[in-house]
Homo-oligomer: A and B are copies of this chain.
Amino acid sequence: MEKELSRSRIQFLKKDYSRGFIADCGFKAVNYKRGYLESRLKVLNRHRQQDHYIHAGVIATMADHTAGYAAFSLVPEDHRILTIEFKINFLEAAYGQALVCRSRILREGGQILVGESEVFDQRGREEALVAKAMVTLRSIHESKIKPIQK
């Protein structure tokens, strides 16, 4: 009933994942399944805050965007995903060499999708859960996206 993603759709989604702010920050989509996405960031000094921890905004951006693209794998190809809201808890400070985010969709069907994202901090060979987010998303037809003059 629930068909798997085609290889070409996965290629499209992975490439589309890293545009604009996301490409600028360096986030990459690495592992896609229907309703699931794992993304990755190689941490640079520019991602840190005043005390050298990874900035909460980096982690939040990753949690939001990865949930959004996990949702994007579940809707028709002429639909887009917008974030209605998200909430994120920071469980411990992140300071490792990479972040990994794993997002899965808890609720699909209809216009409202709900996903959750777990962000892990890679410290050498270990991985610690440093943040968890719940993300409420909306699927809309691409014709309803108002074009923006750059």
Which of A's residues lie within 8 Å of B, judged by CB?
Answer: 16, 19-22, 24-25, 45-53, 55-58, 60-62, 64-65, 80, 82-93, 95, 106-107, 111-112, 114, 116, 129, 132, 134, 136, 138, 145-148, 150
Contact = CB atoms under 8 A, between A and B. Distances in A.
B52 A61 contact: no
Contacts of A106: 89, 91, 129, 132
| This chain's copy number in the assembly | 4
Contact of A50 (B16, B58, B95, B146): B16
Given A90-B84, A90-B85, A93-B146, A21 B58 contact: yes
Contacts of A114: 85, 89, 91, 132
Contacts of A86: 56, 60, 87-88
Contacts of A90: 82-85
Contact of A57 (B64, B107, B112): B64
B84 A89 contact: yes
A26 B90 CA distance: 24
User: Considering residues A24, A93, A129, which has the most beta carbons from chain B within 10 angstroms of its beta carbon?
Assistant: A24
Given A24-B46, A45-B150, A49-B21, A136 B60 contact: no
Contacts of A93: 82, 146
Contacts of A146: 93
